[in-house]
Structure 1
C-alpha cells in the first residue's frame, strides 16, 4: 500500500499567494508520508474576469507557480498533480483564450504528463451562476496516456470531465487504476452531484478516485464547493477534507491488491455486451 493525499484550498487571483499555499500543502503531505499529492483545478489562480485570466496565463515553462511546485516536489521527493492555466501559443487566431491544463510532476521536479481539459463547463444554472468556460478557455484535442506513478497508473481528467462516464471507462480499458479529478465545482452542483458522480466513476470503473477541490469564496462572483476526497474501487469514501476554506489535506492508502481483488470478484469489464452496444 502507498499513501496518497488530496489537497483543498481557496485560490485567489494572486499567484504568489497560491504558490505558497500549495507548496505548504506539498510539504505537509510529504511529512505525513504521502507519495503523491493531488491539488485542485486552477491551483495557480482564479481570476475575477476572463480578461484577467488571459493576462495572468503563461506557458507551462514560464509559469512561476509550476516552478515553485517543481522545486518543492524535488525537495520533498513527492509526486504532485495540479490544475493550471496554460497560455495558448499554438494557434495565432485563438491566443485570447487559454487551456485548462492538468500537470503531473514527479519526485525529481520534472513535468511527466499534461492533459488539456476537453469538456468545457458552459452552463447557465437557474438560481445559480452563469459560467461559460469556452469564452476564455480552448478545449483540448487529445487525451493523456495512462501514467505510471508510485501509487498506481493514473488517468488524468479535470472537473467537468467527471460527468462523462465514457472517458473514465475508456481510461479503465487503457489500464488506469486511479482516476484523477482536480476540480472547482460550484456550490449548487457540488451539493447535488459531486460525491455521487465521484463514487459512480469509482464503482463503474473499479478504480480509486482522487478528487482535489477548490473551496470557499474566491471573489464576489465565484464560490467553490470543496469536499475533496479519495474513494476506493468499491465506492467507499476513504478520506475527505473538512468543510472549511482553510488549506487542508485528506490522506488514504492506495491498495492495488484490494483493487485487483475487486476486479477479479466482479469482472464487469469482461461482462460488457459489446455485441449489443458499442464498446466505450
Structure 2
C-alpha cells in the first residue's frame, strides 16, 4: 500500500505490493532511507541522501565527575543520532566530565592521544558520523611545565580522524556576588589562535567554546574566513543562561548570517553546580529552529545552505562593513 508520496515495505525498492510509481526523492522522509535494502537499493539510497539537506544532531547531557558514565551517555546519543540520519553530532563543553573542584578537574584530564579520545574516534568510525566534541579537558604538551590544561574543542571526521582542535581563547573569569563565581584562568591556559573553518558534510564549521559566545569579534572573524555554521558548545550556569543564552546565540546568527549550533550541559552536574541546558540551533535569519527540552537528549535541524546564501545576497552586510573606520575611533580625554 502507499502512504502519501512514498511507499512502505516491502517491495523491490521501497517495498510496496503492488509496486508504486517512482517516488519524488525530495518528498521522502529521512527515515525512508532505512527501508532500502543494502544491495538492491544502493543507487536509490545515494540519490535520496543527495536530495536531502544535511541533518545535524545537538546533544544535551548532564556530565558528572564519572568519566565512564559520561561516555556511556554521550555514546548512546551519538548512536541514536546516527540511526536518525545525522551526519554531524554536537556534544557540549565538558562532555568528558565536569569536576567538583579544581584538583579533581586537573587530575581527570587527558591528552588528545589518550584513551578517551581514542574511544570517541572509534565511536565516530562505527557510527559513520562527524563529532564536534566541545570542551575537552586537554593536557597539552606543556602540561609538565604549567600543570594547567586547555579547554579544547575537538572535531573528528566519520573515519575517526582528528580534523581540528580549537583551544578556548576567552576564559571565563566572572564574579557575580552571591550568585556565580568562576575563574577558569586559574587552571586553564588560553588558546593561542583562532582555527579556520572546517569543511564538513553539513557546511563550513567555525569552532568556539562557551564564553567565546560573548565576543562577536570571534564570530565575525570566522564568518570572514568562510564559516557557514558557528558552534558554541557550552556549560552555562542557570543564572547567566536564563538571562543571556538565547539572545546571544540569536545575535551571533543574525550578525554573521550563519547557522549557530549550541550543545549544552543541563541539570545538576555535582553538588556545587547546576547547568542551564536549552541546547538549540538558530538559523541565519535568527529563528530558533530546534531546541532541547529539559534533561539529557537530542534535537535535530536540517542545514539549508541555499537559504543561508539567499539571506546573504538579500542583506549583504559583509560587503557593507566599514573596516576602514572601525579602528579609527579614539578615546576622548
**Off by >3 Å, runs of 4+ in structure 1:** none
Partner of 1:55: 107
Task: Tell me how far apart the structure 1 counterparts of residues 199 and 92 of structure 2 sit (CA, whole Å).
Answer: 20
Say whether the 8 Å CA contact 1:12–1:218 is kept in structure 2.
yes
From 271, 277, 291, the counterpart of 1:240:
291
Partner of 2:193: 142
Other structure's SS at 2:300 match: strand
Q: Which has the higher contact order (CA 8 A, sep 6+)?
A: 1
Partner of 1:223: 274
Say whether the 8 Å CA contact 1:14–1:45 is kept in structure 2.
yes
Q: Write the deviation string for residues 27-53 of structure 1: whole angstroms up to 9, x where unpaired.
A: 011111110000000110000110111
Task: Tell me how far apart the structure 2 counterparts of residues 20 and 68 of structure 1 sit (CA, whole Å).
Answer: 11
2:299 is equivalent to residue 250 of structure 1: yes
Gaps of 5+ in 2: 1-52, 329-333
Gaps of 5+ in 1: none
From 117, 121, 139, the counterpart of 2:168:
117
Other structure's SS at 1:270 match: helix
2:89 is equivalent to residue 37 of structure 1: yes
Shift of 1:73: 1.0
Shift of 1:243: 1.6
Task: Tell me how far apart the structure 2 counterparts of residues 66 and 150 of structure 1 sit (CA, whole Å).
Answer: 21
Task: Tell me how far apart the structure 2 counterparts of residues 228 and 65 of structure 1 sit (CA, whole Å).
Answer: 24
Q: Write the deviation string for residues 168-187 of structure 1: whole angstroms up to 9, x where unpaired.
A: 00100000000011100010
Task: Tell me how far apart the structure 1 counterparts of residues 245 and 143 of structure 2 sit (CA, whole Å).
Answer: 34
Task: Tell me how far apart the structure 1 counterparts of residues 158 and 117 of structure 2 sit (CA, whole Å).
Answer: 14
Task: Tell me how far apart the structure 1 counterparts of residues 68 and 117 of structure 2 sit (CA, whole Å).
Answer: 11
2:62 is equivalent to residue 10 of structure 1: yes
Shift of 1:189: 0.4
Other structure's SS at 2:299 match: strand
Q: Write the deviation string for residues 98-149 of structure 1: whole angstroms up to 9, x where unpaired.
A: 1000000110011111000000000111331211111111111111111000
TM-score, normalising length from structure 1? 0.96
1:80-229 pair list within 5 angstroms: 80-83=131-134, 84-90=136-142, 92-94=144-146, 96-229=147-280
Aligned-residue CA RMSD (Å): 1.2
Q: Which has the larger radius of gyration?
A: 2
Say whether the 8 Å CA contact 1:22–1:69 is kept in structure 2.
no
Shift of 1:65: 2.5
Number of equivalenced pairs: 275
